[in-house]
Amino acid sequence: MPNPVPPVPLVETLGLTRIYNVGGQTVTSLIDVDLTIMRGEYVAIMGPSGSGKSTMLNLLGCLDRPTAGSYRVAGEDTAALDSDALASLRNRRIGFCFQSFNLLPRQTALENVALPLVYAGVPGREREAAARGVLAEVGLADRVHHRPTQLSGGQQQRVAIARAMVTDPDLLLADEPTGALDSSTGLEILGLLERLNAAGRTIIVVTHDPGVAEHAHRIVRLADGRVASDEPTARAGAFRAAAQPETAAA
């Protein structure tokens, strides 16, 4: 019987530290964070205000650089990249979904979703086909020509998730994805994230809501810039089982 093949790391941080100078004072936002997230995992990052969640999200999304320590995405050392190369990695490997949706109000759902492909230089017909595909994947095939003001909050968040997915990124980062939604619509969005994860997407959610975090495989809690705990949820067993290859009969 063959040995199980272990999951492959997607996110690896070692000694990740971020220090800011604010008004002549030194503010340490993250301190010596070691974190490994496997491909296909669904991880929630929690913590009170000032715990370092936003800083962690910015670093994982390559929107900021650490003061010390290292960060690898799919084995690629971000410290070795200049600004252009870092932007290219961000466009290729990372999708972002925000609490406030951040949709362009004058653009249709299709145009909003296709925007990252414009930046990537993808030709028009390919952009449209890809955008239509991911909008169908999130259940909005009949809303492609609607503008944000013609969509409900839940539908706007689905458009935002589709936009994050359109480049087929390795990693989906979601910042309080249900924060602007009512509880029923929030559950719909969490169900969508679960389906995307079940299809193989790696997802990191930053949230203050324990109910949202419990949909993940792991909950990483930050406190005063450090990892206070890193524990599996009830869903972790399903991820471990899915990660094991089928073995041949003896």
Strand partners, 25: 22
- Supply the DSSP string of 23-90, one letter for each residue: TTEEEEEEEEEEEEEETT-EEEEE--TTSSHHHHHHHHTTSS--SEEEEEETTEEGGG--HHHHHHHH
Does the pTM surpass 0.85? The reply is yes
- Max distance between CA atoms of the chain, in angstroms, equals 67
**Structural domain boundaries in the chain:** 9-243
Pairing of strands 94-98, 76-77: unpaired
Do 95 and 120 form a contact (C-beta atoms < 8 A)?
Answer: no
Pairing of strands 202-206, 9-22: unpaired
- Per-residue pLDDT of the chain in tens (250 residues, 90 and over written 9): 445 556 789 999 999 999 998 888 999 999 999 999 999 999 999 999 899 999 999 999 999 999 999 999 999 999 999 999 998 899 889 999 988 889 999 999 999 999 999 988 899 999 999 999 999 999 999 999 999 999 999 999 999 999 999 999 999 999 999 988 999 999 999 999 999 999 999 999 999 999 999 999 999 999 999 999 999 998 887 666 666 655 444 4
- Taking the C-alpha atoms of residue 212 and residue 207, their distance in angstroms, rounded to an integer, is 7
Task: For residue 16, give the 3-state DSSP assignment.
Answer: strand
pLDDT at 22: 85
Residue 146 corresponds to which tokens in the numbers above? Answer: 């609607």
Residue 94 corresponds to which tokens in the numbers above? Answer: 């990372």
pLDDT at 250: 41
* pLDDT, tens digit, 9 for 90 and up, residues 114-141: 999 998 889 999 999 999 999 999 999 9
- What is the CATH code of the structural domain delimited by 9-243? 3.40.50.300
Side-chain half-sphere of 18: how many Cα atoms within 13 Å? Answer: 24
